[in-house]
Amino acid sequence: MIRIAPTRILLPAALLAVLGVTVLGQPGGPPTLIVQTDKPGADVAKAMYGVFFEDINFAADGGLYPERVKNRSFEFPDPLMAWYKSAGSGGSFAVRTDGAPSARNTRYVRIQADGPAPYGIMNMGFRGMGVLENADYRFSLLARRAPGSKPVALRAELQNTRGQALGSLRLEGFGDTWQRYEGTLKSARTDTRARLALFLESAGALDVDVVSLFPAETFKGRPNGLRSDIAQLLADLQPGFIRFPGGCIVEGRYLDLRYDWKETVADLADRRILINRWNDEFMHRAAPDYFQSFGLGFYEYFQFAEDVGAEPLPILSCGIACQFNSGELAPMEDIGPYIQDALDLIEFANGDVKTTWGARRAALGHPAPFHLKYIGVGNEQWGPQYVERYKAFEQVLLAKHPEVQIVSGAGPFPDGEEFDYLWKELRQLKPALVDEHYYRPPSWFLENASRYDGYPRTGPKVFAGEYAAHAGQQSDGPNRSTWEAALSEAAFITGLERNADIVRLASYAPLLAHLDAWQWAPNLIWFDNLRAYGTPSYYVQQVFSRNKGTHVVPVLARGEPVTGQQGLYASAVVDELAGEVVVKVVNTAGFGRNVRVELGRAATRAGRAIVMASDPAAVNSLAEPRRVAPREEVLPVAGAALTRELPAHSLTVLRVPVR
């Protein structure tokens, strides 16, 4: 492939004029952007730039939720999926249900060793287990000595792919009723594909269940917490909100496979697993071992949102299964329990500890409320059946919880008959926000930088809830997350920001993908069992989120918003807290050029420029995680204007302190 290096050739405006390109400044001079700092407009929502979390691409189990043992409770439909005989032939193991630990956790495994050689089973994790040299891992399990067995000792051993021990621990003294046992394992070496073996060291039988290997270090040290490197990447976005748990996963292929948040706020051992809808959604990326353990459940989502200072934004089933699948409908006379789920969720998040669900929150460790302000009704639903169900939710939610803003869907597509129909209907109702989705090529994002300039200024606001520029082919996986795609998103986001009066929230989607187990691309962050990196789109999100300012101000070229003239896109805000004017300019042209920026106020001192520029085909990777990433430099400014060179294919943020 021929790489086009970012060029520093500066084309004079006169030449551009000859080429028939509109010239934004004086003929012969650089394009001029006029920032109307004295005309602050709408506030930029504090929560404006958030993240969309869905358990797709092994984002939860195998990703952000750092449990190393897959199928830890033997509750997958194939109870021994991910489990194998470990070593030795002197014994057997079997799945059993008699005398299981609880009615919600109905299966366990009996390991029977004939002795004297060790005999046992092993778990292969999520395409292996990531372990770091010298790091501590908490091993735990529910166990009981099988009836009639002699006392036995259990060795838990971390092994590399050749079966060599990386670390081990020994547990003994098992009683004849179910109890939890635990210890700490340390790995002698770093390995991304380790496995966990359980051996009985002498003749006897042991019943085991809920076998867990969890890193001792989690994000913010939370018990049952999150994988710290991935969580930190998310925290570094300074997200204004966290939308969870999806996406299509909310809806389910059939209604009984929908995401039921109540199932996820039980004791860990009692959270019933559910097939992940991405298990077999795409046959070209089938993942037969993809289930939801709900170890990362609604309590953990709320806790994470709080830990990173983001608003929680849960989306619930509205009684319609995914319309790309069955489209199964809960009849209107049976919609009550779905609405009750929403009411109960508000109680779980905000209710007093004396209420049923407030008490559940407190029992899980958080007596204080989570201050839920948003709730989503349905994901990508469409048609009159959605409007009818949405109305029923709205009527009850507005009456009982006017303080909580309702988010409605607008279907899966950014335009078309269904989209127009939904907006027409929703304008007559009272959702606070309408969730629009757009997965489109980079050209669409460039063409739609002015999408919201003409939107009605009254009625529901917009939640740009799922978007990503799709360049290249699905089979390219991580190679689809190019700078070309990210730059077109940046151009589009200038349009979101310019219209911050009606676009109140925005999130890229999907968020996370396991390099060895993904179903969908592109994604914001890729990871393996130990490492993670942000794509160019990740850094675009980060740049906008960290520079969102407090109020929009117009930025004009020849009296017009800058929405693609000469390949330039721009938005501007003032940051009243920092006392700065912040101008974002995207240059999609394949050449560098100067722009003059008139700030409307004199700079009080030098500013900062934050620049992203690269070859459009460039991607980040584990080997080069910051190949496309922002760099920051001092921005000298004297007076109320500056001239700045914009590199080819670049996003530049200019932050200037003003009086």
Catalytic residues: 380
Least separation, in Å, of the C-beta of 251 and ligand AHR?
8
Residue 493 DSSP code:
H
Omega of the bond leading into 40 within 30 degrees of 0 (cis) = no
How far is 243 from 542, CA to CA, in rounded Å?
17
CB nearer ligand AHR, residue 471 or residue 509 = 509
Question: Is the separation of the CB atoms in 272 and 104 below 8 Å?
Answer: yes
How far is 111 from 146, CA to CA, in rounded Å?
9
Asked if 246 interacts with ligand AHR (CB under 6 A), we say: yes
Residues with Cβ within 8 Å of residue 452, at least 6 apart in sequence: 462, 495, 496, 498, 499, 502, 503
Least separation, in Å, of the C-beta of 412 and ligand AHR?
5
CB nearer ligand AHR, residue 75 or residue 380 = 380
CB nearer ligand AHR, residue 389 or residue 584 = 389
Token output for 199: 């051996």
| Gap between the terminal Cα atoms of the chain | 49
Token output for 91: 């014994």
How far is 70 from 73, CA to CA, in rounded Å?
9
Please state at what angle helix 536-546 crosses helix 483-498, rounded to 10 degrees: 20
Residue 333 DSSP code:
G
Please state at what angle helix 417-427 crosses helix 384-400, rounded to 10 degrees: 30
Number of other residues whose CB lies within 10 A of the CB of residue 324 = 12
Pick the binder of ligand AHR from 404, 464, 509, 543 (CB under 6 A).
509
Tell me which residue has tokens 């039980």.
Answer: 266
Asked if 157 interacts with ligand AHR (CB under 6 A), we say: no
CB nearer ligand AHR, residue 212 or residue 276 = 276
Nearest to 149 by CA among 183, 179, 110: 110
Number of other residues whose CB lies within 10 A of the CB of residue 129 = 28
Residue 162's Cβ-count burial label (10 Å; 0-12, 13-18, 19+) is exposed
Least separation, in Å, of the C-beta of 285 and ligand AHR?
13
Least separation, in Å, of the C-beta of 505 and ligand AHR?
15
One character per residue 356-375, x = contact with ligand AHR (rule: CB under 6 A): --------------------
Asked if 561 interacts with ligand AHR (CB under 6 A), we say: no
Q: Which residue is nearest to ligand AHR (CB)?
A: 247
CB nearer ligand AHR, residue 36 or residue 385 = 385
Q: Which stretch binds ligand AHR (CB under 6 A): 79-87, 243-251, 358-366, 455-463?
A: 243-251
CB nearer ligand AHR, residue 233 or residue 609 = 233
Least separation, in Å, of the C-beta of 305 and ligand AHR?
19
How far is 85 from 473, CA to CA, in rounded Å?
40
Spell out a b/e string for 632-658, using b for 16 or more CB atoms within 10 Å of the CB, else e: eeebebeebbbebbbbbbbbbbbbbbb
Token output for 175: 């009683």
Residues 418-457 that bind ligand AHR (CB under 6 A): 437
CB nearer ligand AHR, residue 76 or residue 259 = 259
Tell how far CA 169 is from the center of its chain.
35
Least separation, in Å, of the C-beta of 509 and ligand AHR?
4
Spell out a b/e string for 560-585, using b for 16 or more CB atoms within 10 Å of the CB, else e: ebbbbbbbbbbbbbbbeeeebbbbbb
Asked if 54 interacts with ligand AHR (CB under 6 A), we say: yes
CB nearer ligand AHR, residue 311 or residue 466 = 466
Pick the binder of ligand AHR from 157, 344, 380, 489 (CB under 6 A).
380
One character per residue 464-503, x = contact with ligand AHR (rule: CB under 6 A): --x-------------------------------------
Least separation, in Å, of the C-beta of 28 and ligand AHR?
47
CB nearer ligand AHR, residue 43 or residue 476 = 476
Q: How many residues bind ligand AHR (CB under 6 A)?
A: 13
Least separation, in Å, of the C-beta of 651 and ligand AHR?
23
Pick the binder of ligand AHR from 66, 245, 247, 351 (CB under 6 A).
247
Pick the binder of ligand AHR from 66, 411, 412, 561 (CB under 6 A).
412
For 414-534, where are the alpha helices, taking DSSP H only? 417-427, 442-447, 483-498
CB nearer ligand AHR, residue 239 or residue 246 = 246
Q: CA-CA distances (angstroms) from residue 555 to 36, 398, 533, 563, 594?
A: 6, 38, 33, 10, 16
For the chain, how many residues are written?
659
Q: Which stretch binds ligand AHR (CB under 6 A): 41-49, 245-253, 479-487, 651-659?
A: 245-253
Pick the binder of ligand AHR from 44, 124, 248, 628 (CB under 6 A).
248
How far is 70 from 7, CA to CA, in rounded Å?
49
Asked if 350 interacts with ligand AHR (CB under 6 A), we say: no
Least separation, in Å, of the C-beta of 50 and ligand AHR?
14
Provide φ and ψ at 651, rounded to 5°: -115, 125
Least separation, in Å, of the C-beta of 120 and ligand AHR?
39
Tell me which residue has tokens 């589009």.
Answer: 492
Least separation, in Å, of the C-beta of 504 and ligand AHR?
19
Residues with Cβ within 8 Å of residue 182, at least 6 apart in sequence: 138, 139, 140, 141
Least separation, in Å, of the C-beta of 488 and ligand AHR?
18
CB nearer ligand AHR, residue 69 or residue 462 = 462
Q: Which stretch binds ligand AHR (CB under 6 A): 31-39, 153-161, 241-249, 557-565?
A: 241-249
CB nearer ligand AHR, residue 63 or residue 616 = 63
Residues 269-288 that bind ligand AHR (CB under 6 A): none
One character per residue 517-546, x = contact with ligand AHR (rule: CB under 6 A): ---x--------------------------
Binding site for ligand AHR (CB under 6 A): 54, 56, 246-248, 379-380, 412, 437, 466, 509-510, 520
